[in-house]
């Protein structure tokens, strides 16, 4: 590292860690040293390592709270970056396509296109004759959005980071402070650990989906009458299609439940029959279970300044607890991490519990 540069260690090689490391590397240049340390990496399979399992796509929503407004703003940054990557580097696994929302008993925020929902690219309210037949869906929209192939995209980000001189280290840490000793003169640690090292506000949200080989040319999200969601998310570059899903808070079960597979596939077939193809069947590749990292008070994005004789003057930037929104907010978070690393104000920080 050249004199006067920064030495930064990023904890975590999920989507938040990879984008943050790349953003720091790109902005700070060769004058600084960026290292990623993680237990799990792209191509690893671990229920705790959520990024490869995701149904990664963009879905607009009406922002009706401060947290949702923050999430929406971060998502706009991500949308712009992904559009650029999809155009300039199509092999990265990002594709833009039509997206559809179908809703039972929608709130006025949806039907009146409030809270930025109506600002989604190309958003149009669907006429009733275009809503799914034989269902209780009363409202629907079509818009332009993105979908990506998580294993391909994460590998692409890691390869880009390494080719630019980024350092990587496979290690399991017990606390974020350990990262200060992993490289020379580390002044900043970025905690993208997902689970937060014993954060009392943390809890897992279990998600079970099914990866099928049936192709689909659109993303579809359906809000059911019981408040659950059914979704179809294609993975570009012949990655299959994700059918989901569940949102089970505080559920640590890592094995797929057969009855859940049957239910989500049946709901998806009813929602969008063309996905079944000519033989009228789903062709299952595998069941997927992942633990989305969540926090009671929402995503943590703030700088913590160290005290004590050995760490005084250094800081940990916390960026974890994104639930199922990691891909959607990733590049927006990366920009905020860069701002905090360079001494910017903690404008989007939330108090930690």
pTM more than 0.85: yes
Given a contact cutoff of 8 angstroms between Cβ atoms, the answer to whether 304 and 318 are in contact is: yes
Q: What is the distance of C-alpha 285 from the center of its chain?
A: 22
Residue 14 has pLDDT above 70, yes or no: yes
The 10s digit of each residue's pLDDT in 94-115 is 999 999 999 999 999 999 999 9
Is residue 169 predicted with pLDDT exceeding 80? yes
Strand intervals (E) in 53-127: 94-103, 124-125
pLDDT in tens, 247-297: 999 999 999 999 999 999 999 999 999 999 899 999 999 999 999 999 999
Residue-wise pLDDT for 295-320, tens only, equals: 999 999 999 999 878 888 899 999 99
Low-confidence winner among 1-15, 27-41, 111-125, 273-287 (lowest mean pLDDT): 1-15
CA 327 to CA 14: how far, in whole Å? 10
Question: Is 51 annotated as a binding-site member?
Answer: yes
Residue 213 annotated in ligand binding: no
Return d(Cα 8, Cα 191) in angstroms, integer: 11
Over range 126-141, report the average pLDDT: 94
Q: Is residue 292 marked as binding? A: yes
d(CA 230, CA 220): 8
144 phi and psi angles, rounded to 5 deg: -95, 135
**Overall CATH class of domain 6-342:** alpha beta
Taking the domains of the chain in order of start, what are their residue ranges?
6-342
164 is in an annotated binding site: no
What is the spatial distance between Cα 170 and Cα 13, in angstroms, rounded to a whole number?
10
Residue 351's pLDDT is what?
Answer: 31
Mean pLDDT of 70-81: 98
């Amino acid at each position: 590292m050249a004199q006067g540069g920064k030495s930064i260690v990023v904890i975590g090689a999920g989507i938040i860690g990879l984008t943050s490391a790349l953003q720091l590397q790109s902005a700070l240049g060769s004058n600084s040293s960026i290292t990623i340390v993680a237990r799990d990496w792209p191509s690893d399979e671990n229920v705790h390592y959520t990024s490869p399992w995701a149904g990664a796509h963009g879905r607009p929503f009406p922002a009706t709270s401060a947290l949702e407004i923050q999430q929406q703003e971060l998502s706009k940054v991500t949308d712009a970056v992904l559009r650029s990557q999809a155009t300039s580097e199509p092999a990265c696994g990002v594709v833009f396509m039509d997206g559809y929302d179908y809703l039972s008993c929608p709130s006025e925020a949806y039907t009146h296109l409030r809270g930025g929902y109506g600002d989604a690219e190309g958003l149009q309210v669907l006429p009733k004759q275009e809503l799914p037949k034989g269902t209780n869906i009363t409202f629907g929209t079509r818009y332009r959005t993105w979908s990506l192939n998580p294993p391909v995209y994460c590998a692409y980000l890691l390869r880009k980071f390494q080719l630019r001189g980024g350092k990587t280290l496979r290690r399991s840490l017990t606390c974020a402070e350990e990262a200060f000793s992993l490289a020379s003169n580390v002044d900043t640690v970025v905690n993208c650990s997902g689970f937060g090292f014993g954060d009392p506000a943390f809890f897992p949200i279990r998600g079970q989906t099914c990866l099928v080989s049936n192709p689909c040319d659109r993303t579809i999200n359906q809000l059911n009458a019981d408040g659950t969601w059914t979704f179809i998310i294609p993975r570009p570059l012949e990655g299959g299609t994700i059918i989901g899903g569940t949102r089970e808070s505080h559920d640590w079960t890592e094995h797929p439940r057969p009855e859940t597979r049957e239910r989500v596939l049946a709901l998806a077939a009813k929602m969008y029959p063309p996905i079944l193809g000519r033989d009228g069947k789903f062709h299952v590749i595998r069941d997927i279970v992942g633990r989305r990292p969540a926090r009671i008070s929402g995503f943590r994005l703030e700088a913590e300044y160290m005290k004590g004789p050995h760490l005084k003057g250094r800081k940990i930037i916390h960026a974890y607890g994104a639930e199922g929104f990691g891909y959607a907010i990733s590049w927006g978070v990366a920009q905020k991490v860069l701002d905090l690393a360079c001494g910017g104000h903690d404008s989007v920080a939330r108090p930690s519990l």
